[in-house]
Amino acid sequence: MQPATHSPSRDTSMRILPVRADAMLVELADLGEALALFDALESAPVDGIREIVPAARTLLISFDPTAISDEALVQVVTERAGGERKAASGALVEIPVRYDGEDLVEVAGILGMSADEVVRLHVESDYVVAFTGFAPGFAYLAGGDPRLSVPRRKSPRTQVPAGSVGLAGQFSGVYPKTSPGGWQLIGTTPLAMFDLDRTPASLLQPGNRVRFRDMSAGRAYEIATVAKVGGADGAGASAKENSSTAVIEILSVGLPVLFQDLGRMGQASQGISMSGAVDRASCKAANRLVGNPVEVPALEIALGALSFRMHGRGVIAVTGALADIVIAAADGSKTLAPHHSAIALDDGDVVSLSVPSAGMRSYLALRGGFEVAPVLGSVATDTLAQIGPARLAKGDRVAIRPAPAGSVVSVSEMPAFDMPRPCELVVLDVVMGPRTDWFTERAVESFLAQEWNVTPQSSRVGIRLAGEALERENHDELPSEATVRGALQVPASGQPVLFLADHPLTGGYPVIANVAGHHLDLAGQIPVGARIRFNATSRFAPRIISGKRT
């Protein structure tokens, strides 16, 4: 553990809010204190900390409990809090804007000034990228004129065009792509905020200084194009083939069939969450069964209904959801193959997976691994961020890499848990927090006592639940803060959403609890029509730390 590296500063206070055994949320008084602590932790890295995601007044700290204990981490955070924030020293980025936003006049009315005055204050402000989140390339810009502070829209838009420049609270920001959003729109920019063919992909990085320029005044702006580097968009799913390459040919698909691995770590500064396989244990098991390293890409198949033809020879394994595996040989004979076993395929064999009787997602690995181009260091397809290889479609041909010499197959892989079935009750352990105290006592009791229905409006982003709505005690607007896989976020409707692998990096609704780490994979296999009851493994117990920090 490294010692604190800054001098005593000022009185401060913070709360340590529980998230899970490997994560905590540190809440400070304001953005400045949060970023000062972030700077202190980043400047002298702490052994065991995996990732830190800053937000409006919080830091989400993910850590390895085997490398640093919860108590030791709290001590480090306590020692380093209360310092001064570093002066912004990042590159200056100028963003040309057409001040034609559909909320500009309304914003001027809210602020009691003219639209021209809003524009003047916006272009005269010196912004700094405080943190990223919401979507890849979306930067929260702080430091603007305090007179431009406006609330989010009461009713968010279902679609905000890419390049829209907006205001929300103390922040300004630019939507990197078309998406839902509730910021007040005052203009548009032609600049691409996020481009996978650029390094880094996000135009705005934490610490960058930002100035907006009015395109209707002053010099003209030349918008430079970005040279394509090839393969970065993940379009290389159908890889090059030669006469000695084994290939699978997709004959039919039902719901999306996606390439997945264990996800992309370390991309929080670009507003990108980890993504990866929803049921990581099953994905790893499929690879071990065919002799692959666990991080090799596999196919994630939602609700079965996949059929492909093998060209050449290969060895597959299917794990996860309990789908029948039927192999039709070239001579017309059919075989029902076993689950959780290595299966040898001959040239011309057709493999078909049925709709599973239990579970939601099957994982198919092929010895050697699929030849597919990574995107930002991973082949995980993030359906929310729209990053990663395209979903497979009928007619696609995917090449298989040769198996490395000496690779060893596993013969003892068993399912990590019983796959849940529709109409069954599934009990998930949860850690209460970090925002349990934003709800009434009755709401917390109801959250734990009732059986929640899994609705059809569920995906890799999250499971939408239906039940008795949860009433909030605190009706304030929650400043944006980071969330984790397994978070149970409660929007204004009072109906929780259980975040899965493709959840947003930050959110603006309170999280009442988080699924315990040992039940995350189980949560990803719960089918539509099942019911969920949550079992709290501990009481909500935030730690309040106050006084002078050193």
Class of domain 246-400: mainly beta
According to the model, what pLDDT value does residue 45 have? 94
What single DSSP character describes residue 31? H
Q: Are 368 and 298 in contact (CB under 8 A)?
A: no
Q: Which of 394, 402, 397 is nearest to 366 (CA)?
A: 402
Instruction: Give the tens place of pLDDT for each residue, 223-255.
Output: 444 333 333 344 444 445 555 589 999 999 999
What single DSSP character describes residue 325? E
According to the model, what pLDDT value does residue 549 have? 45
User: Which one of 3.30.70.2750, 3.40.50.300, 2.40.100.10, 3.90.550.10 gives the CATH number of domain 425-536?
Assistant: 2.40.100.10
According to the model, what pLDDT value does residue 242 have? 56
According to the model, what pLDDT value does residue 89 have? 72
Can you read off the two tokens belonging to residue 144?
């603007």
How does DSSP assign 195-244, residue by residue?
-TTSSSSBS--TT-EEEEEETTSSS----------SSTTS-TTS----TT
Q: Which residues pair with 399 in a beta bridge?
A: 247
What single DSSP character describes residue 153? P
Query: Which CATH number does 99-214 carry?
Result: 2.40.100.10
Q: Residue 383, Cβ neighbours under 10 Å: how many?
A: 17
Q: What is the mean pLDDT of each run of 10 residues along the chain (550 residues)?
A: 44 88 96 94 95 95 97 96 79 96 97 97 96 91 95 88 95 94 96 92 93 82 41 43 78 95 90 95 97 96 94 96 96 94 96 96 97 94 93 96 81 89 97 98 98 95 97 93 96 95 92 98 97 97 75
**99-214 with 425-536: one CATH topology?**
yes
Between CA 469 and CA 167 the distance in angstroms is 30
Between CA 296 and CA 286 the distance in angstroms is 10
* Domain range summary for the chain, segments of one domain joined by +: 99-214, 246-400, 425-536
According to the model, what pLDDT value does residue 228 have? 38
Instruction: Give the tens place of pLDDT for each residue, 250-287.
Output: 999 999 999 999 999 888 888 899 999 999 999 999 99
Q: Are 166 and 144 in contact (CB under 8 A)?
A: no
According to the model, what pLDDT value does residue 224 have? 45
According to the model, what pLDDT value does residue 10 have? 52
Half-sphere exposure of 14 (CA within 13 A, CB side): 29
Q: Are 288 and 411 in contact (CB under 8 A)?
A: no
